[in-house]
Structure 1
Amino acid sequence: MSGAEAGPATTTASDSRLRRLLTGGAGKTGFDFIGRSGLWLRVVIATVLVCLAALAVRQLNFGIDFTGGTSFTVTGAQADFTADDIRDVLGGLGITESFVQVVAGGEGALVSTAALEEVEGVEDSEVAAALRTVTGAPSDGVDVSTVGPRWGAQVTREALRALVVFLALVLAYISFRFEWRMAVAAVVTLLHDVFVTVGIYALVGFEVTPASVIAFLTILGYSLYDTVVVFDRVIEDTAGLTSVSTTTYGESANRALNAVLIRSLSTSITSILPVGSLLFIGARLLGAATLEDLALALFIGMAVGTYSSIVVATPLLVWLKEKEPRFAELKERVLSRRRAPAAAVAPTASTGTASTGTAADAPGIAANRPKAGGSGQRRPSSAKKRKSGSRKR
């Protein structure tokens, strides 16, 4: 086959594989997610270990709402400046730790520092004057606010309380609506999503604010929705499964997962795109910095939730379900039926031509076999047949 002929065929084959991966194809199960559970487990373990290391080494970068400090909001800036220019000015005042965010277009900035009471001989009015000088802001262009650490601690405490209540309700509802194994798989997936999102924050060094905490809780609802959609289809495809011996629970769950794969990916993409617009256009380009903390956590959490509903929730559910005696017995029965033809073919393959026979394997048969041109039994010739027919007439 020439290269010109091979090109279209190769492209068609690639398109067919892609279509089968995304849609499952007619009578196909698509991509074998469940069969690659070992690979997903290694990926999840590696991700969790990286997040643990980030939390242990780098730790979370809490904002002043959690640590306490002073916040300066600069508006109406007229001069050209960078975040490093502001840090240099603050360093000259003895403030070594600060968070500086320049609003898009250079029209303002958000500056957070430790509580100025901890910096000897520095007043907030002095810092405000220095910021006006470097940014060219008017006399009323710098707003100062002081936040104590108690408020952030209260937000954290209420968020943890809400998380516990939410997980308890999820366990109760999914156990009632589906079953407890699905509830366990869903809750483990939710915890995985929040932990990985928090770990990414620690790894990259994003600042954790009350808006970030709210976004973390919002992620739970989104991730749960994606997981429940998959589980509902799994229940539908595994109904009455034990009455047949052709498919295991894992294979049926994999088929269900492929059936809702396009829906899950489409929902995720249509959800991530608006959040991405808030993050990259609203916060970065238009300077709506108050949206960044919320949009950033949502963007990361939605991406993690999409991946976990596919490679964490369903494989974990299959592992739990195939521990049940009825599904463990079904799996053994299905695999035994599949091994039976292979076992029947094995002796044939080992003896070479056992089904047709050879002179070495069956000498008696070979001895009685007629030979071409020999003294064995011969078929009557056509001439003899005609002669015999004429005598009968």
Structure 2
Amino acid sequence: MSRLGTLGARLYRGEVGYDFVAKRKIWYGISILITITAIVGLAVRGLNMGIEFSGGAVFATEKTSVSADAAKETVERVSGHTAIVQKQGDGKLRIQVSELETKASVKTQEALAEKLDMPINKVNTDIVGPSWGEEIADKAWTGLAVFMVLVVIYLALAFEWRMAVAALVALIHDLTITVGVYALVGFEVTPGTVIGLLTILGYSLYDTVVVFDGLKESAKDITKQTRWTYSEIANRSLNGTLVRSINTTVVALLPVAGLLFIGGGFLGAGMLNDISLALFVGLAAGAYSSIFIATPLVADLKERDPQMKALTRRVRAKRAAQAAKADSGQDDGRGADTDAEDAGDDEPQDASPAGLVGQRRQPVSRNRGGRGGKRR
């Protein structure tokens, strides 16, 4: 078995682990800082909305020797709006101008055909009205809102309302960061971007739900024992799925990175940029939120429950009593007897306290028969 596989098995059995839940204030602080940066970028720079949302015109030309900069200068001078020009591999040009009305688009088409020295019918023009763009934007927001509501209802029914709230916070966290990166980078927001956002939300939920499912099973009848607090059990569940979450995230990010940096960067494919940036940022943010936000937040909310508070007090009291008994056992030479008594506890002894790294201490075995010698 590989080292990563061995580590995953040890994490799952609770032999090693990292206390994510206890350090949740650090993760909350990092998330708040990143979120504030994204919001500031969104407020200062705003989103570069594509013509599908803002309306405008797209001009597609035949093969030409005229440079993209010259064509851009002509279009911006005639239309009075900023133009985005893409030089395609076969020598054709694709020119996009937002918020351009029909009359202005006709003049722009004529000027562009003259500049490129080609018949006007060789410059194809597609007009997107602002009302159609607003309709697309409204449908996108409606679809996102319906998605959020259905997610909250499902998680509340399948798990509990605290997990639904934590998952919703994680989703909003992922959305805010992704949209903020779009604003800072200046990529155009198109229907492909919306598709990417919905995709990453589903992926983020998938990772979160897996952790929640393990936590639900581990926390069953939790108040009937006094060995672990809810936060410790939540941390153990998180460590048990940690390696799997890392593996699935890396495997998902590699092809998306290929789309973004090779397809979008070197080949200049606009649609690939729209989808791949949303996927890349969203997948990374989703993996972070499922580990560092969702589960610690569930533990925070759950620990406020009166039953969980009482459980925490009982666990701490028992540990204090055991520590005192161990100290007194060392003083009077009864340490072995103390270990034997602890080994006879009805509660499970096959795990180490959450957050500790290293080999756990195995319980001391004892002779169940009470007598030595061979059985007759």
Q: How far apart, in 1, do the equivalents of 2:119 and 2:105 lie?
A: 25
Q: Given residue 72 of structure 2, which amino acid in structure 1 is its aligned partner?
A: R
Give the secondary-structure state (helix, strand or coil) at the position aligned to 2:228. coil
Q: How far apart, in 2, do the equivalents of 1:109 and 1:249 lie?
A: 61
Q: Given residue 109 of structure 1, which amino acid in structure 2 is its aligned partner?
A: L
Q: Which residue of 2 aligns with 1:45?
A: 32
Q: How far apart, in 2, do the equivalents of 1:131 and 1:32 lie?
A: 65
1:189-217 alpha-carbon deviations (Å, 9 max, x no partner): 11221121111111221111122122222
Q: By how many angstroms is 1:45 displaced?
A: 1.0
Q: How does 1:1-393 map to 2 (within 5 A)?
A: 24=11, 27-78=14-65, 81-82=67-68, 84-93=69-78, 95-103=80-88, 105=89, 107-117=91-101, 123-129=107-113, 132=116, 142-340=123-321
Q: Given residue 284 of structure 2, which amino acid in structure 1 is its aligned partner?
A: A
1:41-84 alpha-carbon deviations (Å, 9 max, x no partner): 101111121122112111111112222211122453445x35x4
Assess if the C-alpha contact under 8 Å between 1:95 and 1:113 holds in 2.
no
May I ask how many residue pairs the two structures share in their alignment? 331
1:263-309 alpha-carbon deviations (Å, 9 max, x no partner): 11222222222333333333344454333212221222112111111
Assess if the C-alpha contact under 8 Å between 1:100 and 1:110 holds in 2.
yes
Give the secondary-structure state (helix, strand or coil) at the position aligned to 2:18. coil
Could you tell me the TM-score, scaled by structure 2's length? 0.77
Q: Given residue 125 of structure 1, which amino acid in structure 2 is its aligned partner?
A: Q
Q: How far apart, in 2, do the equivalents of 1:321 and 1:232 lie?
A: 15
Structure 2 residues without counterparts, runs of 5 or longer: 334-376
1:108-149 alpha-carbon deviations (Å, 9 max, x no partner): 33321144449979703234325635xxx8876532111111
Q: How far apart, in 2, do the equivalents of 1:147 and 1:41 lie?
A: 43
Alignment CA distance shift 1:283-1:108 (3 Å): farther
Q: How far apart, in 1, do the equivalents of 2:40 and 2:323 lie?
A: 48
Alignment CA distance shift 1:296-1:117 (3 Å): same
Q: By how many angstroms is 1:246 displaced?
A: 1.7
Q: How far apart, in 2, do the equivalents of 1:72 and 1:192 lie?
A: 38
1:151-188 alpha-carbon deviations (Å, 9 max, x no partner): 12111111221222222211221111111111111112
Larger radius of gyration between Structure 1 and Structure 2: 1
1:339-373 alpha-carbon deviations (Å, 9 max, x no partner): 44667899x9xxxxx989xxxxxxxxxxxxxxxxx
Q: How far apart, in 1, do the equivalents of 2:277 and 2:242 lie?
A: 25
Assess if the C-alpha contact under 8 Å between 1:19 and 1:25 holds in 2.
no
Alignment CA distance shift 1:102-1:330 (3 Å): farther
Q: How far apart, in 2, do the equivalents of 1:92 and 1:252 lie?
A: 65
Q: Which has the higher contact order (CA 8 A, sep 6+)?
A: 2
Could you tell me the TM-score, scaled by structure 1's length? 0.74
Give the secondary-structure state (helix, strand or coil) at the position aligned to 1:145. strand
Q: How far apart, in 2, do the equivalents of 1:320 and 1:121 lie?
A: 57
Larger CA deviation: 21-30 vs 232-241? 21-30
Assess if the C-alpha contact under 8 Å between 2:8 and 2:240 holds in 1.
no
Give the secondary-structure state (helix, strand or coil) at the position aligned to 1:40. helix
Structure 1 residues without counterparts, runs of 5 or longer: 1-14, 349-353, 357-393
Identity of aligned residues (%): 42
Alignment CA distance shift 1:39-1:291 (3 Å): same
1:197-239 alpha-carbon deviations (Å, 9 max, x no partner): 1111112211111221222222221211111111111112222
User: What's the C-alpha RMSD, in Å, of the aligned pairs?
Assistant: 3.3
